[in-house]
Chain A
Amino acid sequence: MNTQTDTSLIRNFSIVAHIDHGKSTISDRILELTHTVEQRDLYKQMLDSMDIEQERGITIKSNAVRVMYDADDGKTYQFNLIDTPGHVDFTYEVSRSLAACEGAVLVVDATQGVEAQTVSNALLAMNADLEIVPAINKIDLPSAEPERVREEIEEVLAIPADDAVCVSGKTGEGIHDLLESICYLIPPPTGDADATLKALILDSYFDAYRGVVAMIRVFDGCVRSGDRLVMMAEDQRFLAEEVGVKRPLEQPLPQLGMGEVGYLVTGLKDPALVKTGDTITGESRRCTEPCPGYHEAKPMVFTGIFPIDNKYYENLRDALEKLKVNDPSLTWTPETSVALGFGFRVGFLGLLHMEVVKERLEREFDLDLIATSPSVDYHVYLTDGQMIEVTSPQDLPKPEKIERIEEPYLKATVIVPPDYVGAVMQLLVEHRGTSNDMVYLSEKSVEMHFDIPLAELILDFFDQLKSRTKGYASLDYEFSGYAPSQLVKLDILLAGEEVDALSFIVHRDKAYQMGRGLCDKLKEIIPRQQFEVPIQGAIGNKIISRSTVKAHRKDVLAKCYGGDITRKRKLLEKQKEGKKRMKSIGRVEVPQEAFLAVLKVDDG
């Protein structure tokens, strides 16, 4: 294959959309029309290789596939389709993927219109100076309103939408026009092919045989197998063992030239060394400036993860290390709990990331785990002038030693139909949010901007938002900084014993309400035992709430004759299975979900 591609025929682009607006079906259709169809199933498998990604319909890793398109002008274009993670937890990863593109196809559902992530993705794309090709999808549906959506795109996003292509990922209608638009509207890459190498790492993954493989975009120069290279952030040197492209199977090439996107086998064995957003250049001849925008992914949400049976502690550590191989953003430190024994305090990019990791640990490594309530990274200023970062309620110093506590805040955006503005405002008040302004995007949607503590958002804010707006609201947010707050530690006592793993940090004004709510919720979750179990909420030595799990009165299947014995035994075995998934704390059997009960406390 000729690797000296005419750069004027290269189109690097990404497809961005609000969740469920049809990004993957459109990708599928593009593969079909570019005759990558034979391998489409394989491609799907490769892109969404994790069960959980497929089940949840989300992409967690970035990836890039090269397809060749024979355009109407008789030329063959090289498309590098760069797939990006589709969730607000992964905004940084998305921005790195977009930095590798010259254009983006912005998919908007013809029945839903512009939603929060449409806006945030469009803004990310515009900030990355990408040419945006709007595509209005699902026009085959009877409820499609392409004209209204076209207006919305123009009004809300200020993107000229006259040329917006109407497509149906389902029927394939309009996909050919979309491909033509990509050729005409998205500019080819520009760069200096003769300069020293400058390439951006979009993402990386671990290959058991070859070590870390980086997905890269070459901005200047070119990279050949055998080149001696360096990653600029930490001056990490390595040898390019192989370069190539995915079509979607890996196809080794002698080189990747200016403007091209492909993979690079680094031979490095430690995934943490290869950082998304870092710049690769020649070891001896270096480029002067790295690609802009690099920073280390910082965990936002922290939770304790413990094996129910402590003898699996080492298995949990191994499992985390294995996951980290393909998810370098995962961080952890050992944590000890009186109630739960040995485990880890694990840092995540967001709540979804946390759920996915926990699910993978349980499913792929067959571990029974307890996750404790998620926390954020509090900055605690001590009376001696020192500042410590606290990610676990257990580590919060005694109140008399604390001068002040600061907590992380977010700038958040909600887009919602005007009818629900009141409901969202109410929710904001309950979650310590402060509204900044409100913009009518159209008659049918309002964009609300507000500040909210991250700690509030990681409780049940999103679910509440969805339920109070009947699913219409969409949410997007970014970290904005730290601000002081009146925070206290709320402890929970079971049968008179404080259970450290149930403690959490809460705003003083909400402590009573949360204490009461949590005691009630725990009462529902903790099954009756042979004896009565009082549940108490306490701040310091002061009991602020109380509930009681009544003692078990009767738990026996009265009838047991000849034909029932096997059934009866199976029932007992099932009961035992259920118990295995509970944690004995003192004499009390506590189910896993009790430790996340704080997520389920109703605010109302």
Chain B
Amino acid sequence: MSLGALYVHVPFCVKKCAYCDFASSKTRADDPLMDAYLDERLGELDRCADAGLLDHCKTVYLGGGTPTHLGARRIGALAARIQLLCPQLIEFSCEANPDSLTDDVLAVLVDAGVTRLSIGVQSLDDGELRALGRIHTAGQAKERVAVAVKTGLDVSVDLMCAIPHQTDVSWRRTLEEAIDLGVDHLSVYPLTIEEGTPLEYQYRNEPTPWNDEDVQAKHMEAAERILAIAGYSRYEVASYARPGKRCAHNIAYWTGVPYLGLGPGAASMLDAAGYDHARKVYRWLPPRKPDSVRMRFSTLERDVEFLSSRETWAEDLMLGMRMTDGIEATRLDIAPQTRDELLTRGLIERHGNRLVPTHDGWLLGNELFGTLWDLAVPSP
């Protein structure tokens, strides 16, 4: 069994941001719900370990919500238990927000063997932060990131473009200041105005030129340029790293490595053997469908998706093309028509024995991914 990655979702926040449509809720720091939730996850982790699911887990990611909002005691306990149950860990990431990444929290994370922090900075402009409904200031974020970098952990920051009030200048400044803080990794993505969010409500009847697709493209291009000069190379649509600092956990998602997700906003993706093990922990899981080679399920919605080998192949192609390294050229040998079409349209190109996305392929990813995912259904 080759389960390689574990994700634990922590669905608590001090306050929900204006753009957020993830599974998370505003929770007071002393809310007993957090302890209950922690106990539940610890128990679940134990059962997963008993079933042998965590034996070969290489990477862990604590995501949110805001994991650091759990506070030092609880997040320390969670991280320590994970460390104990996953003997083969090589990377342990934890998401954090500047306001809850206190010195205490930082210390317990280091103690528990966390190796990497991903801090939700989003912007280093106070006006922009307010518009997003973030509860921290730019100054606070810079100070916390600097402290985190000093601990020696690998530090990544999330930055957002195409947000209210943002200009070419302010975006450039945010990027440059983040670079100056000495981070190892950046995730850069344009804001998506999701239905049902306060942001969408606020701008429902107003034009949003700052989120225009041309602006998004321009900012993404600017980020690539500025970050490249500073020594960060893009390895995925939204991910930039210094040499050796790519996020192994996220790469697992894009390269078909089976993973287990715990908590309400999480999904698991398992191969046949992993799924059979998981059924010992999650009794509601139905028996595997005979022709399926990949299973994906979420414990909250209790729905399972069974993918055939063809669908698995198409999904891997689609996800692989999110990365600069693309896919091995031979993987498209059985679909020469699609390959040639993508080459002709200039969405992919050959790099030695690999097929990789072009600049257009990056920006028009949905075209590229959609065409590859179409391969999941054999053409008549």
Contact = CB atoms under 8 A, between A and B. Distances in A.
Interface stretch (A16-24, A267-275, A548-556): A548-556
A542 interface: no
B266 A554 contact: no
Interface in B326-380: 345, 360, 362-367, 369-370, 373-374
| A-B interface, 9 closest residue pairs, ranked by CB to CB distance from nearest | A556-B365, A558-B189, A554-B217, A553-B217, A558-B238, A572-B370, A563-B267, A554-B363, A555-B366
B199 interface: no
12 contacts: A552-B363, A554-B217, A554-B220, A555-B365, A556-B369, A557-B365, A561-B250, A562-B266, A563-B298, A566-B305, A568-B369, A573-B373
A1 interface: no
Interface in B4-32: 5, 7, 9
Contacts of A562: 5, 7, 253, 259, 261, 266-267, 269
A578 B324 CA distance: 29
A602 B261 CA distance: 53
Contact of A560 (B296, B319, B373): B319
A77 B82 CA distance: 88
B250 A565 contact: no
Interface string A553-587: 11111111111011011011101100000000000
Interface in B208-245: 213-214, 216-218, 220, 237-238
Given A554-B214, A560-B322, 8 more contacts: A554-B220, A554-B364, A558-B237, A560-B319, A562-B269, A565-B253, A566-B267, A566-B296
Contacts of B7: 562-563
A565 B267 contact: yes
B261 A563 contact: yes
Contacts of A426: none
A315 interface: no
A553 B269 CA distance: 32
A568 B216 CA distance: 19
B213 A552 contact: yes
Contacts of B217: 553-554
A572 B364 contact: no
B267 A555 contact: no
Given A553-B217, A554-B220, A559 B370 contact: no
A575 B362 CA distance: 17
A559 B360 contact: no
A151 B279 CA distance: 80
A45 B164 CA distance: 54
B340 to A, nearest CB: 16
Contact of A530 (B5, B322, B360): B360
Residue from the set B217, B360, B369 with the largest chain A CB neighbour count within 10 Å: B369
Contacts of A560: 237, 253-254, 319, 322
Interface in B258-289: 259, 261, 265-267, 269
B363 A557 contact: no
B184 interface: no
Contacts of A563: 7, 9, 261, 265-267, 298
B128 interface: no
B71 interface: no
B315 interface: yes
B369 to A, nearest CB: 6
A575 B213 CA distance: 17
Given A553-B213, A558-B238, A565 B296 contact: yes
B113 interface: no
Interface string B55-98: 00000000100000000000000000000000000000000000
Interface string B171-184: 00000000000000
Contacts of A569: 315, 318, 373
B192 interface: yes
B180 to A, nearest CB: 24
Nearest to B263: A563
Contacts of B315: 565, 569
B190 A558 contact: yes
Contacts of A571: 366
A562 B299 CA distance: 14
Contacts of A528: 213
B291 to A, nearest CB: 19
Contact of B192 (A557, A573, A575, A576): A557
Contacts of A565: 253, 267, 269, 296, 315, 319
Contacts of A530: 345, 360, 364, 367
Contacts of B218: 553
A558 B265 CA distance: 18
A573 B269 CA distance: 20
Interface residues of A, number: 24
B269 A552 contact: no
A556 B237 contact: yes
Among A550, A552, A556, A572, max chain B CB count under 10 A is at A556
Contacts of A576: 370, 374
A556 to B, nearest CB: 3
Contact of A556 (B296, B345, B363): B363
Contacts of B259: 562
Contacts of A561: 63, 250, 253
B366 A556 contact: yes
A362 B138 CA distance: 55
Nearest to A569: B373
Contacts of A573: 373
B228 to A, nearest CB: 17
Nearest to A561: B253
Contacts of A559: 189, 192, 238
A554 B361 CA distance: 10
Contact of A572 (B63, B253, B366): B366
Contacts of B250: 561
Contacts of A553: 213-214, 216-218, 363
A563 B213 CA distance: 25
Given A569-B373, A575-B370, A556 B364 contact: yes
A555 B363 contact: yes
A557 B369 CA distance: 10
A581 to B, nearest CB: 15
B4 to A, nearest CB: 12
A187 B133 CA distance: 76
A584 to B, nearest CB: 13
A553 B214 CA distance: 6
Given A530-B345, A563-B266, A563-B298, A554 B190 contact: yes
Contacts of B266: 562-563
A569 B296 CA distance: 13
Contacts of A575: 366, 370
Contacts of B345: 530
Nearest to A553: B217
A565 B252 CA distance: 13
A530 B347 CA distance: 10
Nearest to B253: A562
A566 B213 CA distance: 24
A556 B358 CA distance: 13
A575 B217 CA distance: 20
A557 B366 contact: yes
A528 B220 CA distance: 19
With most chain B CB atoms within 10 A of its CB, the pick from A553, A557, A559 is: A553
A565 B322 CA distance: 12
Contacts of B253: 560-562, 565
Contacts of B363: 552-556
A195 B261 CA distance: 88
Contacts of B254: 560
A555 B216 CA distance: 9
B158 to A, nearest CB: 10
Given A560-B322, A565-B269, A565-B319, A555 B261 contact: no
B202 to A, nearest CB: 21
A539 to B, nearest CB: 33
Contacts of A555: 213, 363-367
Interface string A521-564: 00000001010000000000000000000101111111111110
